[in-house]
Amino acid sequence: MSLVSLADVLQPALKNGYAVAGLVTLGWEEMRAYVRAAEAEGVPVILQAGPSCREHTPLPVLGKMFTYLAETASVPVVAHLDHGYTVEECRIAIESGFTSVMFDGSRSPLAQNIENTGQIVEMAHAAGVSCEGEIGFVGYAQGEASAGTDPEEAAQFARETGVDAMAISVGNVHLQQDKEGGLDIPRIQAIEKVTEIPLVIHGGSGVPVAQRVELARNSKICKFNIGTELRMAFGDALRTAVLADETRFDRVQILKETHDPVVAAARQVLRAFKGE
């Protein structure tokens, strides 16, 4: 198929009542497994390089890895920078072949977030790249608390920045390992009433699957970021492979045994976001 932008996959999702998964990658093994899962389900996929991934592998290398996978895939693939915190990070990602950048100014005051995000949007659009912004801070399990998105601020943010997608804080939390919570539906509906662009849920691993299905089909939420539950699947598979034979030391052979379990876990995730 081909490398496509975030807008290329989210606008059809918004129109036709489904969502696209933003799958958080840490290395080649997950990236490859996520694309194989998307091919098996016949859906587009967003490969996401977040801060921890970038600590491990430089953006120019990640860009080439994403591009290779996209060019050899049978489904559309988005190469997405997740949680870019500076103009420089976003610039390097764009120059490295990423087709989408997410600028996270959610900790900043509204006016500063709008100004900084707008600057990234202008740079990205000039290069034919999509931009996702965030309004309302999404917290972390056992860490920083969330600050919910104000609907009127969301409307202003969307209008004045020109972002292609907007991440919102509506009860979602990063790094949550269980699905005991649930999103604030009245707040989502209030945001939907005053905005027209695709909405994004970070920390999607903590959202109950039934609610993912409902929102994918019947709301403007068109992108769910999923990382923690797939990291857990990878970790479980790797632990099993290592402990199966303590005399093995070849990492290639060990890592091969993570592939099928991660594909299976990713397929389960992707299935929930399909349209009816």
- Which residues are the active-site residues? 82
Enumerate long-range contacts of 84-89, CB under 8 Å, 24 or more apart.
Answer: 84/120, 85/51, 87/116, 87/119, 87/120, 87/123, 89/54, 89/59
Residue 59's closest CA among 117, 25, 98? Answer: 98
Helix ranges (DSSP H) in 108-147: 110-126
Residue type, 172: N
Separation between Cα atoms, residue 42 and residue 20, nearest integer Å: 12
**222 in Cβ contact with 200 (< 8 Å):** yes
User: Looking up tokens 């958080």, which residue turns up?
Assistant: 24
Q: Token pair for residue 194?
A: 């005053």
User: What Cα–Cα distance (Å) separates residue 169 from each residue in 10, 84, 117, 172, 186?
Assistant: 19, 17, 17, 6, 12
The label of the residue with tokens 């990878």 reads 234
Q: Which helix (H) or strand (E) holds 45?
A: strand 45-49
Residue 221 DSSP symbol: E
